[in-house]
Amino acid sequence: MQNYIDSLKEHIEKRELLSILQNFQNKFGYIDLNFIEQLSKRINVPAGKIYGIASFYNQFRFKPKGRHHIKICSGAACHIKTKDNLTSEIYKILNLKNKETSSDGKFSIEFIPCMGACALGPIIAVNDRYFMNVSLNDFKIIISNLD
Ligand code: FES
């Protein structure tokens, strides 16, 4: 992380901040709050302001992903077609307890407003592999094949 911060120039434009945050997240998987504090000192912008900008965009995560990252479409079309209390059952199956990442770090979950294939919903993605028309039973089978 320190090398990444050292590589940044000291004076940046506001519009560059988003790309710095995106690059950091791409490299480390999430936005570490220590990174925000160090970045604040490096570019002389208050940490609260950086956090405010980052938290405005739902693309940024502030916790690490699990080994298996699961995206669930939360769009209206998928929501209407979802049966079996799929989302709440997924939370139970993955032992997430209303958190984004399981305590053992195996699973993390993210909700996507629409994955762009509404007719094929409900849609989930596991480690960026997409599954369509997912039922609770399908989900259990998908998860059982993960280590
Ligand atoms: S609402 Fe799920 S893909 Fe559009």
Q: Which of 71, 73, 82, 86 to mutate to test the pocket of ligand 1 (most atoms within 8 A of CB)?
A: 73
- Who wins on pLDDT, 78 or 83? 78
Peptide bond into 113 cis (omega under 30): no
CATH of the domain at 125: 3.40.30.10
pLDDT in tens, 101-122: 888 899 999 999 999 999 999 9
Q: 127 and 80, same structural domain? A: yes
Average pLDDT, the chain: 90
Residues of the domain holding 101: 68-144
**Domain assignment of residue 61, yes or no:** no
DSSP H or E run through 124:
strand 124-126
Q: Which of 6-15, 120-129, 137-146 has the lowest mean pLDDT?
A: 6-15
**Domain assignment of residue 33, yes or no:** yes
**Domain assignment of residue 42, yes or no:** yes
| Residue 41 reports pLDDT greater than 90 | no
- Does 77 contact ligand 1 (Cβ within 6 A)? yes
Mean pLDDT computed over 59-76: 92
**Domain assignment of residue 63, yes or no:** no
Q: 128 and 84, same structural domain? A: yes
Range 55-93 burial, b when 16+ CB lie within 10 A, else e: eeeeebbeeebbebbbbbbbbebbeebbeeebeeebbee
| Residue 33 reports pLDDT greater than 80 | yes
Q: Tell me the whole-structure pTM to 2 decimals.
A: 0.75
Spatial CA neighbour of 50 closest among 6, 4, 18 = 18
Which residue has a Cα nearest atom 1 of ligand 1?
75
